[in-house]
């Protein structure tokens, strides 16, 4: 004897014919196992079968013989068609797609970083402690010390003001006062190879003014085999003591070797036959050579290596 199946019974009946287990049916329809078991019992009773084997044997090839409810009543809620399994698969697809996009972005950023690092390594030369300088030279002081630069004052009595006004240009200048003989002011900076600059007629340019006679040496320091070789020029009778700013341009190519001083001890080295090297320049010094008991002072500004 056959009876009409209700929509939910028909839905479970169809799944049973597909040989889907009651647990899987419960998962797909988002209902409890006991609910599926209840409907399964009612289906067996209405269709006159005792178990799933009889159901399959009787209806698996003759599903159309079962009188179902009218078409108008067979339509079920479309939201029930979207089972938890299909929803989870959709979420998983989005997660995989999002992960692939993130991985692509990571690979692009990593490639960009490695490319930049490779360029820096290839342009750094064979000595990683030496900074390459470009064709524009570099600034030592202009209102402020350049990044990575520092100043050392070789005197307990000298006074230095890094922010003196008015400046030759910009806002600030350096005011070095109470200068006596053998006092010095030293600008330290990251080691640089100035060979290119010497060969291409670069100069040490700076602005200075004073109201008292000041004589001093200007020296670059080059470290080679544990010896600081001093390269520079003597700066005498060039700065007029009239209190006005004057600009000086000293060609690097015309500078000569003063002396060599051991890095670890006070030991001077002869310069006879020594070739000048500009490959490891790490400091610039203004060194006073005149002291007559009076208070001497000098203003410095816009110090740079340039064309």
181 and 274 inside one domain: yes
d(CA 43, CA 45): 5
Looking at the domain assignment, is residue 190 inside a domain? yes
Domain that holds residue 67: 7-81
pLDDT at 2 over 80: no
Question: DSSP letter at 70?
Answer: P
d(CA 134, CA 195): 12
Tokens representing 276 are 């000048």
pLDDT at 122 over 50: no
Tokens representing 59 are 């209806």
pLDDT at 1 over 50: no
Looking at the domain assignment, is residue 166 inside a domain? yes
Looking at the domain assignment, is residue 46 inside a domain? yes
Dihedral over Cα of 235, 236, 241, 242: its sign: negative
157 and 280 inside one domain: yes
Domain count, the chain: 2
pTM value is: 0.55
What's the pLDDT at 203? 96
Mean pLDDT of 53-62: 80
pLDDT at 85 over 80: no
Higher-pLDDT residue of 183 and 70 is 183
Mean pLDDT of 282-300: 79
What's the pLDDT at 249? 95
Domain end among 66, 81, 96: 81
210 and 281 inside one domain: yes
75 and 195 inside one domain: no
What's the pLDDT at 20? 92
Looking at the domain assignment, is residue 122 inside a domain? no
pLDDT at 223 over 50: yes
Looking at the domain assignment, is residue 253 inside a domain? yes
233 pLDDT band (50/70/90 cuts)?
very high
Looking at the domain assignment, is residue 210 inside a domain? yes
d(CA 38, CA 20): 16
Looking at the domain assignment, is residue 23 inside a domain? yes
Looking at the domain assignment, is residue 120 inside a domain? no
156 and 286 inside one domain: yes
Summarised one tens digit per residue, pLDDT across range 239-278 is 888 999 999 999 999 999 988 888 776 777 888 888 899 9
CB 59 within 8 A of CB 17: yes
d(CA 25, CA 200): 86
43 and 144 inside one domain: no
Summarised one tens digit per residue, pLDDT across range 172-204 is 999 988 887 778 899 999 999 999 999 999 999
Domain end among 55, 81, 107: 81
CATH number of the domain residue 289 falls in: 2.60.120.430
- Lowest-confidence region among 9-13, 99-103, 111-115, 223-227: 111-115
């Amino acid at each position: 004897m056959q009876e009409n199946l209700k929509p939910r019974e028909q839905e479970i009946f169809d799944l049973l014919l597909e040989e889907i287990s009651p647990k899987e049916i419960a998962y797909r329809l988002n209902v409890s196992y006991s609910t599926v078991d209840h409907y399964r019992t009612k289906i067996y009773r209405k269709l006159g079968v005792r178990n799933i084997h009889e159901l399959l044997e009787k209806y698996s090839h003759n599903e159309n013989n079962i009188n179902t409810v009218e078409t108008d009543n067979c339509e079920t809620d479309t939201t029930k068609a979207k089972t938890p399994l299909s929803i989870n698969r959709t979420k998983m697809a989005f997660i995989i797609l999002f992960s692939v996009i993130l991985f692509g972005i990571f690979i692009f950023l990593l490639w960009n970083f490695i490319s930049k690092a490779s360029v820096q390594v290839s342009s750094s030369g064979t000595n990683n402690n030496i900074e390459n300088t470009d064709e524009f030279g570099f600034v030592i002081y202009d209102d402020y010390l350049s990044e990575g630069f520092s100043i050392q004052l070789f005197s307990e009595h000298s006074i230095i003001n890094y922010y003196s006004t008015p400046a030759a240009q910009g806002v600030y200048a350096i005011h070095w006062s109470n200068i006596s003989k053998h006092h010095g002011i030293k600008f330290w900076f990251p080691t640089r190879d100035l060979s290119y600059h010497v060969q291409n007629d670069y100069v040490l340019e700076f602005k200075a003014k004073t109201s008292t006679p000041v004589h001093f040496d200007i020296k670059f320091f080059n470290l080679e085999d544990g010896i600081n070789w001093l390269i520079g020029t003597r700066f005498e009778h060039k700065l007029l003591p009239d209190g006005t700013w004057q600009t000086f341009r000293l060609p690097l190519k015309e500078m000569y070797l003063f002396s060599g001083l051991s890095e670890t001890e006070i030991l001077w080295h002869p310069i006879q036959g020594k070739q000048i090297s500009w490959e490891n320049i790490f400091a610039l010094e203004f060194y006073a050579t005149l002291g007559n008991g009076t208070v001497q002072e000098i203003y410095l500004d816009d110090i740079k290596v340039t064309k």
